[in-house]
Structure 1
Amino acid sequence: MTAVDDPDQLHTIIESAQRLGVEMDEAESRRWLAAIAAENSGVDVTMDIGSGTYGYRPTMLDFSPKDIARFRRIGQIVEVTGDGAETALALSGSAAQSKIQTHPGDADFFQRLNIKAATRDEACAVMARLVRDHVLARTQGPTYQFLEAKLGTHRVDGLVRGKAVKAGSPVTWTLDEIASGVQVVETAGGERLELQWADAALDPGWVKADWVVTDPDRGGLSNASNVIDVTWEAPDGTIVALDGYLDAYFQEVYLDADSAPVFAKVAKFVSADALDEYVAALEGEVRKYLTSHLNYGKAAKRMYNVFRLSGRYLDAAFVRELFDEPATTLYQVWSLIGTLENATKEGSSIPIEDVQDQADALVLQIVDTLEGDAESELVAALLRLRRTLEGQHTGEARSAEVAAAQALVVNLVNTFYRDRLLLMPSIREYIEQIQREGADRH
């Protein structure tokens, strides 16, 4: 089905949506469906001159530059720069779909870090130095607090800081471990292994760094993460990803037009099958959130991208409207509850008043969004969490309140998205097929 072949079917879907309590703007839906057809125009990447941003054409249709200044300020905290590297920083996730996801969860960034070096090992050493130097220079400030970084892959099962880790899983580093350049792993046999930061960089795997940030102008907290796709540019001009897979660019909005040459150079080496591979990876996540890690909200966000990238435009148009429903603020609440805990870890530079203000704002959001028993239960949970911010409780007590509040929100989010998704026949069929396949695998 193409974007504009069947206007009567769109009208039917809009009528169905209205019966489900979802208001779809028919004129806006038609404009979006016509615009998404440009995906097949042969123009892959487009630039918005006004905001100085660029990205994959269908993704840019869902991006609003209204918060671009805020994201660029956060970008100065999370972007890794330095001698020996070229960079292009982008928004990803819900932050890159701000026109439709009016209640985004976190501030998710994606960075292309291209390193020119004579050998791969030299490129790995440059990456290790740049990431470490950046974290140590951005440990904390009045508006941000570093949380953790990921670099390398565990070789053995064991314990790190008393918690189990599995061979093949990403290595998570605390600030102290990054500063010392060493992480201690205790094996099942009682052996004490020292994992060196520089050695971990030789097999970097998933490179990522996380902060919690606060916005003095707007108020409010958010988690800010930067997933870094590090590439090595050899002397002959060949570019390869240090983790073995060069990420595609189908859900990224790049923040600086001046980085376009770096992006274009690296993107030439993205697999010709990248779109199919990306959709397959998204469907893998959809399967996870519809089966083993049930979360219809996360599934819906990924289903939208699957539908719009695989030609199911009418289904995408319906899911697109769900993100603007008032109840979807619950998705943001779920994320921000965890942010409160991150912002109050021992040694945090985030002012406690900012954290308390965020907790109060969450209570008001719930009062504005919900009613009845659901409102009462969630407000009570948030007020219990709010009391832990006064200093009476820390550590395990606060973590327990965070887990309890998030569990309530997840149940509400699941109900909201499940009820609406399953009542749309074509989407219900898709979900049921995914869940049948999941059941067959077990």
Structure 2
Amino acid sequence: MHSESVVAAQHYLTYLLVIFLVGTLGGKLAGKLRLPDVVVFILTGIVLGPSLLGAVDIPASSTVNQLILLFGACFIIFHGGMITEFSVLKQVWRTISLLSVTGVLITALIAAAAAYYVFGVSFLTALLLGSILASTDPAALVPIFQKFPIRRRVAQTVISESAFTDATGAIMATVVFGLLTAEGAISGGAVIGEFLLLALGGMVVGVITGGIAAFLISENDRGLLREFTPMVVVITVLGAYLLAEKVHASGFMAVFVAGLMIGNAGSLKLTILPKEEHAAHQFMDAVGLKLRMLIFILLGSQVDFSVLRQYGLPALLVVLVFMLIARPVTVLASLLPDRRAGWSRSEVLFFFWTRETGVIAAALAGMAAGAGLAEGKLISAVVFVAILLTLLIQAGTTPWVAKKLGLLEADNGSGPKEEKGA
């Protein structure tokens, strides 16, 4: 006879077995079909979920689901920081700053306006949805840029944008959610102050935790934990997030900056040996794949078809506004002012199209639904449609669009000559 807790644990282990087994096969299929694996994971989750086969049934409000979403989001944002190079940031920091701050605000406001008029919800609810949609998806973008030789500064800028917008979008969603659940009126100054406190506090925590971790795995007499580099990564992710949240700062910003510190240890006069660096990236890739499986299969399994029937067509309209209006306006407002970068017309058009929604939006939507928000199901439905459309249509055609725009470089690193600025 097993206790009730043991039986429950066995149920969850069964769900994990099914997710990893079917997810692995789905990832293989995605490679054969040349599709982003997260699209296959979502579709797999729908089939496995309670609405069809019932092989996976983990409620959005459960502690297990929230744990997976939180750790998965932190780990993926951390990885985004690790692959962001200071050298590229120095060249295009104005563009990235505008995309990740002003751009997030523009995207959120346009998407919120569409949701406000289409669904008739309160503006704060619509703004929460827009804030969730404002985060891009490094988990989908990085594999594409690793596989296809897209012009280096373009690829690095898109990856950097996705990493920064994950953090700033998550902060904005946190602030808006706080406004939704707060009692009484809150001034605009208080909102701005809260945003700055979350962002700057997260940066400070990230610099401290990332700097310590980089020192401990570096090539020096006090690099005590070089041989435990993967575990140092996990400890840093958890430590940065929890410490930041403890001091009421942004845990997401903290883990991103911590990853940035480790990924650019050389700029801090610290040398991480190639062996340890390779171990860290190999570990991040392997764990990141498992987390993508968990998050997106769970997201698919939690899709409520009755909610989709109710909100599906309006959600499609909001997502089309998000893709075809919000993104181009955001890009033009962010790239054109950066005269120093001298973005070409083809590069600007590529930015128009490269705008995937994925892991972070899924995690934030899941957390909103799990928190018992009245419009949680509506938000989940819109986010699901956005993820499916942007990943299937945009991510699936990104290499083709890059080729048509002349942004694919030769294997030797020489690419087409830069065009004159747009």
Question: How does the TM-score come out when normalised to structure 1?
Answer: 0.25
Larger helix percent: 2
TM-score (norm 2): 0.26
**Greater percentage in strand:** 1
Pick the structure with greater CA Rg. Answer: 1
